[in-house]
Amino acid sequence: MNTYFRILSYARPFRQHVPLYILCATLAILFGLLNFTLLKPLFDVIFKQADPDELLAYSVYPEFEPSINYLNHLFNYYLIEATEIYGAFGSLVYVCLIIVTSVFLSNLFTYISGVILARVRAKVIKRMRMDIFEKVSTLHIGYFSDERKGDLISKITNDVQEVENSVVQSLKVIFKEPATVILYFAVLFAMSFKLTIFTLVLIPISGGIIGYITKKLKRRALQSQESLGRIVNILDETISGMRVIKAFNARKYIVGKFDKETDFYSKVNISMAKKNEAAGPISQFFGVSVVAGILVFGGSLVLANESPLSPSAFLSYIIIFTQILIPTKEISRALSSIQRGLASARRIFAVVDTETKIQNDPKAIQISGFDKSITFNSVSFSYEQDVVLSDINLTLEKGKTIALVGPSGGGKSTLADLVPRFYDPTVGSILIDGIDLKQIDIDSLRKQMGIVTQESILFNDTIFNNIAFGMTDVSQEQVEHAAKIANAHEFILKLENGYETNIGERGTKLSGGQRQRISIARAVLKNPPILILDEATSALDTESERLVQEALTNLMQNRTSLVIAHRLSTIQHADEIVVIEKGRIIEKGTHEALLANKGLYHKLSNMQSFQ
For 300-314, 491-505, 573-587, which range has the lowest pLDDT when averaged over its residues?
300-314
- pLDDT (0 to 100) of residue 287: 66
| Interatomic CA distance for residues 163 and 6, integer angstroms | 12
What is the CATH classification number for the domain harbouring 21? 1.20.1560.10
- Confirm whether 207 is domain-assigned: yes
Which of 287, 280, 436 is closest to 364 using CA atoms? 436
- pLDDT (0 to 100) of residue 274: 73
Q: Ranked by mean pLDDT, which of 224-233, 274-283, 474-483, 601-610 comes out on top?
A: 474-483
410 and 346 housed in the same domain: no
Strands 530-534 and 373-383: unpaired
| Interatomic CA distance for residues 94 and 91, integer angstroms | 5
| Interatomic CA distance for residues 232 and 239, integer angstroms | 11
Would the pLDDT of 351 be above 90?
Answer: no
| Interatomic CA distance for residues 421 and 469, integer angstroms | 20
Q: Give me the phi and psi of 353, to 5 degrees please.
A: -85, -5
Residue range 396-420, pLDDT digits in tens: 988 888 989 888 888 888 898 899 8
- Confirm whether 363 is domain-assigned: no
327 and 378 housed in the same domain: no
443 and 496 housed in the same domain: yes
Three-class secondary structure of residue 194 per DSSP: helix
Q: Which of 352, 381, 404 is the last residue of a domain?
A: 352
Residue range 216-231, pLDDT digits in tens: 665 676 677 778 777 8
Percent residues over pLDDT 90 in the chain: 6
- pLDDT (0 to 100) of residue 283: 65
| Interatomic CA distance for residues 534 and 80, integer angstroms | 93
295 and 188 housed in the same domain: yes
| Interatomic CA distance for residues 154 and 351, integer angstroms | 12
Q: Which of 318, 352, 386 is the last residue of a domain?
A: 352
Average pLDDT of span 74-85: 74
Average pLDDT of span 559-582: 84
- pLDDT (0 to 100) of residue 46: 55
- pLDDT (0 to 100) of residue 247: 62
| Interatomic CA distance for residues 26 and 175, integer angstroms | 9
More confident residue, 182 or 58: 182
Would the pLDDT of 610 be above 60?
Answer: no
Average pLDDT of span 201-220: 60
- Confirm whether 228 is domain-assigned: yes
Model confidence at 375, pLDDT cuts 50, 70, 90, reads very high
More confident residue, 237 or 348: 348
For 162-176, 356-370, 570-584, which range has the lowest pLDDT when averaged over its residues?
162-176
pTM of the model: 0.69
| Interatomic CA distance for residues 607 and 294, integer angstroms | 94
- Confirm whether 73 is domain-assigned: yes
- pLDDT (0 to 100) of residue 436: 92
Q: Can you state the percent helix, strand and coil of the chain, rounding each to 5? A: 65, 10, 20
- Confirm whether 565 is domain-assigned: yes
**Neighbouring-strand partners of residue 587:** 579
- Confirm whether 364 is domain-assigned: no
How is residue 399 annotated by DSSP? Answer: T
Which of 126, 96, 89, 150 is closest to 13 using CA atoms? 126
- pLDDT (0 to 100) of residue 216: 60
- Confirm whether 365 is domain-assigned: no
Average pLDDT of span 348-372: 86
Q: Mean pLDDT, the chain, as a whole number?
A: 79
Would the pLDDT of 537 be above 70?
Answer: no
Q: Give the list of residues 6+ apart from residue 530 with CB closer than 8 angstroms, or none.
A: 370, 374, 419, 448, 449, 450, 559, 560, 561, 562
- DSSP secondary structure letters along 489-544: HHHHHTSTTGGG-B--GGGTTS-HHHHHHHHHHHHHHH--SEEEEESTTTTS-HHH
Average pLDDT of span 522-545: 74
More confident residue, 285 or 495: 495
304 and 384 housed in the same domain: no
- pLDDT (0 to 100) of residue 432: 92
- pLDDT (0 to 100) of residue 393: 92
User: For 369, what's the count of Cα atoms within 13 Å in the CB-facing half-sphere?
Assistant: 5
Q: Ranked by mean pLDDT, which of 195-199, 241-245, 459-463 comes out on top?
A: 459-463
What is the CATH classification number for the domain harbouring 410? 3.40.50.300
412 and 442 housed in the same domain: yes
Residue range 425-454, pLDDT digits in tens: 999 999 998 899 999 998 888 888 888 877
- Confirm whether 362 is domain-assigned: no
- Calculate the alpha carbon distances from 356 to 104, 144, 360 in Å: 54, 11, 10
Average pLDDT of span 561-590: 86
Would the pLDDT of 346 be above 70?
Answer: yes
314 and 412 housed in the same domain: no
Q: Residues 245-272, buried b or exposed e (16+ Cβ, 10 A)?
A: beeeeeeeeeeeeeeebeebbeebbebb
* Cβ neighbour number for residue 84 with a 10 Å cutoff: 11
- pLDDT (0 to 100) of residue 19: 87
Total domain count for the chain?
A: 2
18 and 84 housed in the same domain: yes
More confident residue, 106 or 301: 106
Would the pLDDT of 377 be above 90?
Answer: yes
Q: Which domain holds residue 321?
A: 2-352
- pLDDT (0 to 100) of residue 108: 92
- DSSP secondary structure letters along 326-348: HHHHHHHHHHHHHHHHHHHHHHH
Residue range 480-507, pLDDT digits in tens: 888 888 888 888 888 888 989 888 877 7
- pLDDT (0 to 100) of residue 609: 61
Which of 20, 183, 41 is closest to 109 using CA atoms? 20
**Neighbouring-strand partners of residue 375:** 395, 431
- pLDDT (0 to 100) of residue 215: 59
347 and 377 housed in the same domain: no
Residue range 84-112, pLDDT digits in tens: 777 767 777 777 787 788 888 888 998 99
291 and 380 housed in the same domain: no
- Contact present, 390 and 583 (Cβ < 8 Å): yes
Q: Ranked by mean pLDDT, which of 118-132, 235-249, 366-380 comes out on top?
A: 366-380
416 and 277 housed in the same domain: no
Residue range 232-259, pLDDT digits in tens: 778 777 776 676 676 667 778 788 888 8
179 and 237 housed in the same domain: yes
Would the pLDDT of 463 be above 80?
Answer: yes
